[in-house]
Amino acid sequence: MYARRPIEPLLWLFFSAGGVMAALFFPAILFLFGIAFPLGWLAPPNYDHLLAVVSHPLTRLVLLGVCSLSLFHWAHRFRYTLYDGLQIKHLNESINAICYGGAVLGTLTAAYLLWKVP
Amino acid sequence: MRHNAVYTPYHPRWHRTRVSTYWWLGRWSYFLFILRELSSIFVAWVVIYLLVLVAAVSKSAVRYQQFLDWSRNPFMLSLNILSLLFIVLHAVTWFNLAPQAMVVHVGGRRLPGSLIAISNYAGLVAVSIVILGLLLIRW
Amino acid sequence: MSDHITLHVARYRPEKASETTFDAFELPCPKEWVVLDGLNHIKDRMDGTLSYRWSCRMGICGSCGMLVNGEPKLACATFLSDYAPGPVRVEPLRNFPVIRDLVVEMGDFMSKLTRIKPWIVRQVEKPLSDGEYRQTPGELDEYKQFSMCINCMLCYSACPIYGLDPHFIGPAAIALAQRYNLDSRDEGAAERMQILSEHDGIWGCTFVGECTKVCPKHVDPAGAIQRYKLQSAVEWVKAFVLPRAAQ
């Protein structure tokens, strides 16, 4: 149907999926590990418990998906924030490289770290 | 330039104004928009924070304890409180705007947008309960 | 002086000055007066040189769009008494070149409108003898909201993205494209998608959402654009998974 196949729809799909993931998962995760545990409102899980949760294959898979898509969400949104907020669209090539390159690197890092969980 | 340049004919008598670089400071709704867009930075931060946690947990119990100590220092704590505010802003705006982008038909009828927004929040509650259950209940 | 209100009206007179100035007019302010009544009063009784566009005075022609206290509004649907005790600032629409006073140049919008083919496209026209193209009320409801657009350009004025990048095809044009795409009689969706999936089509939009807020006809252009993105992404995936079937 299309002579040229732009990549924009795919990037937008990742952006949207990442937006959903971040909105669903991050409030609870950040509330627990960022605020509730450090302030002592709730007792953090002990090491063996947390390791058991994280090392479950399903957890790793979900975490990889959430991390990767959220990073693409960041890349896409931040790129447009730079375009619109600072009017630096003429630097688009380096902005794209930093944003999407960062998301790809982050995904690889996440995959490596989650793979290494015993 | 990727664009095929399209020029509006020059007209010496037309008055044009340039958009200020700080246009998003001019109006409350524009400012809220830019805050919403900046939430993406905190999304990226949460990913990093989460991965640091995963790395610590996969190393040893000592590293995990170090992570917990690190998360208690005032700088990290204030960063994370700020991040949570932005994450909540992201979640609320995302869920509320979703009905505008999604039209769902069930049995030939268009579902009202409020139902889509409500099901989004229901999803948030469900996922949060699962996370809390996994981390807080000993099994 | 509660029955009077002051209007600060933007004046741009290229033969006199290269910058916009403001003229203050003190007007009576009956509660049924809209901004357009105020401008007509100025034109008839106080300063005949004031230039602005208007026609129907009932929110259907879309010609009296202007900024009232910085907000894009139809002058015929904005009551002066809502701004009492004033003063009220009246300016030409943002993001457009100004020709004179409150009159903006809309050639750019007009050329964008035609680019998205805002008419029913048929691959093969039915012969007249076969009768009309029928449509159920349900099919009408699918696009009716988007067909309410009166081309008043308030959404372009509210859209910071259009202000930043005049190449952006803009809210009303995309909503109108969607109006025809969703019409059961239309077969031009693929042609329009080709135009709108360009970078300065739907992808320039970052969902500021202001276009929907200012729309006097509740068209929801922002929603139309996001729906378009979703549709375009779904088609992209379909074409990727089933390259043949998508042809």
Q: Is the minimum CB–CB distance between C198 and chain B shorter than 8 Å?
A: no
The CATH code for residues B33-136 is 1.20.1300.10
Q: What torsion do the CA atoms of A15, A19, A20, A22 make, to the nearest 10 degrees?
A: 130
C107-241 folds as Fumarate Reductase Iron-sulfur Protein; Chain B, domain 2 (1.10.1060)
**H or E element, residue B106:** strand B105-106
Instruction: Show me where the domains of chain B are located.
Output: 33-136
Q: Using DSSP, state whether A39 is helix, strand or coil.
A: coil
> Structural domain boundaries of chain C?
4-104, 107-241
Asked if this assembly's ipTM is beyond 0.95, the reply is no
The residues in B 18-77 lying below 8 A from A, measured between CB atoms, are: 19, 21, 24, 34, 37-41, 43-44, 46-51, 53-55, 57-58, 61, 64-65, 68, 71-72, 76-77
Could you report the per-residue pLDDT of C83-105, keeping only the tens digit for each?
Answer: 988 899 999 999 999 999 999 99
**Of B65, B80, B90, Cβ closest to residue A23:** B90
Whole-number Å distance between alpha carbons of C68 and C62 = 15
Interface test with B, best of C98, C179, C199 (most B CBs within 10 A): C98
Using CA atoms of A24, A30, A36, A42 in order, give the dihedral in degrees to the nearest 10. 60
Candidates C230, C197, C226, C202; CA nearest to C212 is C226
Residue C76's pLDDT band (cuts 50, 70, 90)? very high
Q: Which residues of B touch C (CB under 8 A)?
A: 2-3, 6, 8, 11, 13-17, 19, 23-24, 27, 29-30, 33, 37, 97, 100-103, 108, 110
- The answer for residues whose C-beta is within 8 angstroms of residue A27's C-beta and 6 or more apart is B84, B87, B88, B91, B124, B128
What's the Cα-to-Cα distance from B118 to each of A19, B131, C22, C47, C209, rounded to whole Å? 17, 20, 48, 55, 20
Q: Mind spelling out the 3-state secondary structure of C115-167? A: HCCCCCCCCCCCCHHHCCCCCCHHHHHHHHHHHHCCCCCHHHHHCHHHHHCCC
Cβ count near B95 (within 10 Å): 21
| Locus of tokens 């010496």 | B12
C204: its two tokens: 């320039």
What percent of chain C stands above pLDDT 90?
79
The answer to whether B48 and A74 have CB atoms below 8 angstroms apart is no
Residue B4 has pLDDT above 80, yes or no: no
Q: How far apart are CA C195 and CA B120, in angstroms?
A: 32
Query: Of the candidates C161, C233, C246, which has its C-beta nearest A9's C-beta?
Result: C233
Amino acid sitting at position C156: Y
- Maximum Cα–Cα distance for chain B, whole Å? 77
- Helical pair B61-72 and B28-59, crossing angle rounded to 10 deg: 150
Shortest Cα–Cα distance, C187 to chain A (Å): 14
Beta bridge partners of C11: C21
- In one-letter notation, the amino acid at residue C167 is H
Question: Is C1 a residue whose pLDDT tops 60?
Answer: no
Contact call for B49 and A33, based on CB within 8 A: yes
- Separation between Cα atoms, residue A30 and residue C245, nearest integer Å: 44
- Do the Cβ atoms of B55 and A113 come closer than 8 Å? yes
Structure tokens, B16 = 């044009």
Q: How far is A40 from chain C (nearest CA, A)?
A: 39
| Chain B interface includes C227 (CB < 8 A) | yes
User: Is the link from the previous residue into B74 a cis peptide, with omega within 30 of 0?
Assistant: no
Token couple for C108: 């750019």
Q: What is the pLDDT of residues C135-191, one digit of tens each?
A: 999 999 999 999 999 999 999 999 999 999 888 999 999 999 999 999 999 999 989
Q: Which residue of B has its CA nearest to C214?
A: B29
Length of chain B: 139
| C-beta of residue C143 within 8 angstroms of C-beta of residue C182 | yes
pLDDT digits (tens, 9 = 90+) for B38-77: 999 999 999 999 999 999 999 999 999 999 999 999 999 9
pLDDT at B2: 44
* pLDDT attached to residue B73: 94
Structure confidence by residue, pLDDT tens digits, C102-133: 999 999 999 999 999 999 999 998 899 999 99
Which member of C164, C199, C229 has the closest CB to residue A87? C164
Q: What is the pLDDT of residue B5?
A: 52
Q: Does C233 touch chain A (CB under 8 A)?
A: yes
Measured between alpha carbons, how far is B16 from A10 in angstroms, rounded to an integer? 36
Q: What is the rounded distance in angstroms from the CA atom of residue A100 to the CA atom of residue A11?
A: 9
pLDDT of residue B49: 97
Interface contact C160-B24, CB threshold 8 A: yes
CB neighbours (10 Å) of residue C127?
A: 7
Domains of chain A: residue spans and CATH: 8-116 (1.20.1300.10)
Instruction: Provide the pLDDT for residue A1.
Output: 39
Q: What is the gyration radius of the CA atoms in chain C, in angstroms?
A: 21
Per-residue pLDDT of chain A (118 residues; tens, 9 = 90+): 344 557 888 999 999 999 999 999 999 999 999 999 999 999 999 999 999 999 999 999 999 999 999 999 999 999 999 988 888 878 888 999 999 999 999 999 999 999 988 8
Is B88 a residue whose pLDDT tops 70?
Answer: yes
Q: Which of residues 65-84 of C touch B (CB under 8 A)?
A: 70
Residue C243 backbone phi and psi in degrees, to 5: -60, -30
For A54, the token pair is 């994280």
Residue C16, both tokens? 């006199």
Topology annotation, domain C4-104: Ubiquitin-like (UB roll) (3.10.20)
Among C98, C84, C94, C93, smallest CA distance to C7 is for C84
- Count of CA atoms in the C-beta half-sphere (13 A) of A88: 11
Distance (Å) of CA C110 to CA A101, C70, C172, C226: 39, 24, 11, 23
Q: For B37, how many CA atoms within 13 A lie in the half-sphere containing its CB?
A: 23
pLDDT band at B10 (very low <50, low <70, confident <90, very high): low
Most distant CA pair in chain C: distance in Å? 74
- Per-residue confidence (pLDDT) for residue B79, from 0 to 100: 97
